[in-house]
Amino acid sequence: MKQTLRILHLEDDPSDAELVQATLAGEGVGCNVLVVATRENFVSALEEGGIDLVLADFALPVFDGMSALAIVREKHPDLPFVFVSGRLGEEAAIESLKNGATDYVLKNRLSRLVPAVNRALSECEERAERREAQEALAIAYLDIHERAESYQNLFNSIRDAIVVSDLNRRIMNANQPALREMFGYELEEVIGKSVKLIYADEEEFLITGREIFDIRESVKGKILEVHFRRKNGEVFIGELHALKHLDRKGVPTGNVGLIRDISERRKAEEALRESEMRRYQLQIELVYAAEIQAKLLPRDYPHIPGFDIAAQCLPAKHVGGDFFDWQEVCQGVWALTLGDVMGKGMAAAMLMATVRASLRSVGHNRPSEALRLVESAVLPDLENSESFVTLFLGQLNAAERSLTFVDCGHGFVFLRRRNGTVQGLFPRGLPLGVLNGNLYQEGTLKFEKGDTLILYSDGLIDARPELALNNQLLSEHLAGAASAQEMVVRLMSLTEQQGQLPDDVTVLVAHCLE
């Protein structure tokens, strides 16, 4: 992190701006804060450049934080952006994160400001480091490739030391720049001396003699790896292209040795081999992890009288943070769950397994109580990992054809009535890991025959943005479907032809049979 950060703060209340600066200073964050309150000043400050972080109030008299976020993401996609607002409802909070905000902090909880700022900056630095590492690796590959091609053009390369000796292996000439750079000798120091001077191992000196240099007739050249010694005594491994020096008639008159220092290349090759081995091992571990995660999901559809249940989860990577589950918590009552851990990959998968296990242990409680107990169990892990979980938990009473549910910041759920109309489910709350001091509120619905409950994760919207907040379009895709499984297949097919999925996609369907 830079010693002094340059922060652009969108805030119209000078007192709040001073409080934010005091909080940053009190936690030892060195920064220069530019406070603006209008769109014109905000855009001007961005165009001047040099901004490390943006802090923004959500609502201002003449400008708003979401518009500021859109401007930043368009012009500076990687610039950290943190909302600092007096109040931020759950819908707005979730929407801001979906639109690219790094985090949000309530003004009455400024104790979270510095951790949020540090995390935002750390993520930005990690992205920059990844780009630098990729560029460095590309350069290393290019260098290795260029060295391989240069084997066909050694005579024209002044980077290699060219040592010419007579048939008795006494040095007659050498290219001075490479001789000085590689061995540390001046030409007059080696002329007339045995080439044994630059060999580190006597046995290798004898081997090269038997292979090429002691032969008195024309022979095919060879490339050998030999240990050489510099003037200062340092030993290095070199590549020796050994061949005979011929006169105009093709008669050998001496020897030519082209020597290249390959010690750095060897280090690079060894590092590359180790990297490839680590990558291979990681791939194996990811395959095993994917198998284990797949086994954590239900293998068979439940047999619930009067209902047809189906679901599918498709991770964006080997493993992911989405999950679905069902569990009979008492006679005739089933818990249906769909959750989405912030992020994707291995970290999200580990949190997913923790949340799933906690839910299963308390599933016999009412949904609101079950989620309260789960939050108590997993909140430390979520806080330590600076993550959260959106989750929908419903208890289906098959005999009464009723569902009691709690929506923890998920929102991607609707009831499709038999006639094709769509009904939203309310109330909704904040995700697990986002403390709001309120109890989880339950909602209820009654199924009529032919009605269908549709649950899906935001990965479906990420893959098809035009479907965002339009459950009617999703409902129309299900017209005429004969089973819950067919409905799942239709919804999952919306992600086809999209290439690499941007996020995990999960769908769960509960259809009330006619």
pLDDT in tens, 121-160: 888 788 777 778 777 777 766 765 565 355 334 434 568 9
Q: Which residue has the higher pLDDT, 497 or 363?
A: 363
The residue to which tokens 């165009």 are assigned: 47
CA 287/CA 265 separation, integer angstroms: 32
The count of other CB atoms within 10 Å of the CB of residue 499 is 8
Q: Which CATH number fits domain 5-129: 3.30.530.20, 3.40.50.2300, 3.30.420.480, 3.30.300.30?
A: 3.40.50.2300
Q: What is the reported pLDDT for 148?
A: 38
Residue 321 corresponds to which tokens in the numbers above?
């943070």
Question: Which residues are paired to 408 by β-bridges?
Answer: 391, 429
Residue 109 corresponds to which tokens in the numbers above?
């909880």
State the average pLDDT over residues 308-320.
86
pLDDT band (50, 70, 90) for residue 108: confident
On the question of pLDDT at 204 being above 60, the answer is yes
Angle between helices 263-296 and 346-361 (to 10 degrees): 20
pTM: 0.50
Q: Which residue has the higher pLDDT, 376 or 293?
A: 376
State the average pLDDT over residues 275-285.
75
Q: Which residue has the higher pLDDT, 333 or 221?
A: 333
Max intra-chain CA distance, the chain = 105
State the average pLDDT over residues 27-37.
86
Residue 157 corresponds to which tokens in the numbers above?
């390369």
State the average pLDDT over residues 203-217.
89
pLDDT band (50, 70, 90) for residue 449: very high
Residue type, 345: G
Q: Phi and psi (nearest 5°) for 462?
A: -60, -35
Q: What is the reported pLDDT for 455?
A: 97
Q: In CATH, which superfamily holds the domain spanning 297-512?
A: PPM-type phosphatase domain (3.60.40.10)
CA 48/CA 439 separation, integer angstroms: 46
Q: Which residue has the higher pLDDT, 112 or 366?
A: 366
Q: What is the reported pLDDT for 249?
A: 85
Any idea where the domains of the chain sit in the sequence? Answer: 5-129, 157-261, 297-512
Q: What is the reported pLDDT for 152?
A: 34
Q: What is the 3-state secondary structure (H, E, C) of 245-266?
A: EECCCCCEEEEEEEEEECHHHH
Half-sphere exposure of 313 (CA within 13 A, CB side): 25
Nearest residue to 19 (alpha-carbon basis) of 158, 135, 113: 113
Q: What is the reported pLDDT for 366?
A: 94
CA 432/CA 390 separation, integer angstroms: 6
Q: Which residue has the higher pLDDT, 248 or 324?
A: 324
**Tens of pLDDT along 61-99?**
888 888 888 888 888 888 888 888 877 777 777 787 787
CATH code, residues 157-261: 3.30.450.20
Percent of the chain topping pLDDT 90: 41
State the average pLDDT over residues 40-61.
87
Half-sphere exposure of 344 (CA within 13 A, CB side): 16
Of the listed ranges 93-107, 225-239, 468-482, the one predicted with least confidence: 93-107
pLDDT band (50, 70, 90) for residue 501: confident
State the average pLDDT over residues 167-187.
92
CA 236/CA 260 separation, integer angstroms: 10
